[in-house]
Amino acid sequence: MTYRLGVDVGGTFTDFLLMNEENGETHTAKVPSTPEDSSIGVLNGVARICDESGIDPSQIKLVMHGTTVATNAVLTGKGATVGLVTTAGYEDTLQVARSFCPGGLGGWVSYVKKPLLAPLELTIGASERMDAEGEVVSDLDEEQLRTDLKRLHDRGTVEALTICFINAYMNSAHEERARDIAREIFTDIPISISSEVVPEMQEYERTETTVVNSYVKPEVARYVNNLKSALAERMGPDTQLSILRSDGGLASARASAESPVNLLMSGPAGGVSGAIYFCSRAGFDNILTFDMGGTSTDVALIQNSKARVRRETFVGDVRVR
């Protein structure tokens, strides 16, 4: 007899649903979340639900996990210090953004933007250029890039690195080569390239999304890897850990650690998907979901049993795709 376990980590509580895959029998549990290390709360809850149900943890073969670890890192401003490598001339992409400011023309005088997730003093402009068709206009100046990266490394503050070159979504060759060079210098920090994280047009959105991926990557990767190892110790190496994505789908632990930006709306997406399923079975196709957690509150309007999917979303003031 095998079981699957659903785990939802919120800002205050962590909730569990254990289901028998043969007869549908369920058990539930709730434990306090542990913000200093969310995996502690998860493991506490696993112990409680198995103890209360009398089920051996080794019988659990699938753990489906919704988490706000990435979301909270952005909302609380406790992500990594990110260095950014862009095409020369595009160093101010995050600062300019879409030239938005509140209050009309007068807003330019008084509007103070929040600090960038990748500050200008940690931004490098690499000599290279791809055109809109992905053809090389200027080769990557590898020696200059290596010199600039060493100078950035010597600052001793960069905890994650982002590489985002113009038109890289059409041709990723320069980004991949720049990552190879960066790995020679930054040997112990994660490096994200835009052509893998979000290979789409629009320079600001692609840069911001890739920077956010770097911003949350150290914490999310540490959390996911620690949790996977701890679950394997308690349940056995065959237990599969799947993390809920922002689109309501599931990703493997490895994919989640590599592209944590896809988890930013993990917890809220799970609530919406669950509400649609149960309300549809009860005959309600038009609903409003309200999900209040310890850190944030999420609302979704469901029409005809379908949630509208946004291509872009905001987490706090951070815009990602």
Query: Tokens in use for 22?
Result: 């043969």
In the sheet that holds 240-244, the strands lie side by side as: 26-32, 13-20, 3-9, 60-66, 240-244, 250-252
Q: What is the mean pLDDT of residues 235-254?
A: 87
Q: What is the mean pLDDT of residues 131-152?
A: 95
321 has pLDDT over 60: no
Q: What is the mean pLDDT of residues 287-295?
A: 79
How much is the pLDDT for 70?
83
256 has pLDDT over 60: yes
311 has pLDDT over 80: no
304 has pLDDT over 90: no
Nearest CA-CA partner of 235 in 100, 69, 46, 74: 46
Q: How far is CA 182 from CA 4, 90, 99, in A?
A: 41, 19, 31
Element (H, E) at 320: strand 318-320
CB 63 within 8 A of CB 232: no
Instruction: Categorize the per-residue pLDDT at 103 as very low, low, confident or very high, splitting at 50, 70 and 90.
Output: low
DSSP letter assigned to residue 294: S
Tell me the Ramachandran region of residue 104: left when phi exceeds 0, alpha when psi lies from -120 to 50, beta otherwise: left
How much is the pLDDT for 133?
93
CB 215 within 8 A of CB 224: no
Q: Determine the 3-state secondary structure of 151 from DSSP.
A: helix
DSSP secondary structure, 99-136, as one string:
---SSGGGHHHH--PPPPSS-GGGEEEES-EE-TTS-E
Q: In angstroms, rounded to a whole number, what is the distance separating the alpha carbons of residues 223 and 241?
A: 12
Q: What is the pTM of this model?
A: 0.83
265 has pLDDT over 60: yes
Instruction: Categorize the per-residue pLDDT at 166 as very low, low, confident or very high, splitting at 50, 70 and 90.
Output: very high
Instruction: Categorize the per-residue pLDDT at 108 as very low, low, confident or very high, splitting at 50, 70 and 90.
Output: low
Q: In angstroms, rounded to a whole number, what is the distance separating the alpha carbons of residues 298 and 282?
A: 22
CB 230 within 8 A of CB 253: no
Q: Which residues contact 81 (CB under 8 A, 6 or more apart)?
A: 122, 157, 158, 159, 160
Q: What is the mean pLDDT of residues 232-251?
A: 87
Q: Which range in 90-99, 140-149, 241-250 is most confidently predicted, on average pLDDT? A: 140-149
How much is the pLDDT for 316?
56
How much is the pLDDT for 101?
62
Q: How far is CA 84 from CA 149, 178, 182, 193, 248, in A?
A: 10, 12, 11, 10, 30
Q: What is the mean pLDDT of residues 241-254?
A: 86
Q: In angstroms, rounded to a whole number, what is the distance separating the alpha carbons of residues 278 and 282?
A: 6
How much is the pLDDT for 291?
79
171 has pLDDT over 90: yes
- What's the whole-number average pLDDT of the chain? 87
319 phi and psi angles, rounded to 5 deg: -105, 125
Per-residue pLDDT of 26-85, as tens digits, reads: 999 999 988 778 888 999 999 999 999 999 999 999 999 888 788 878 877 888 999 999
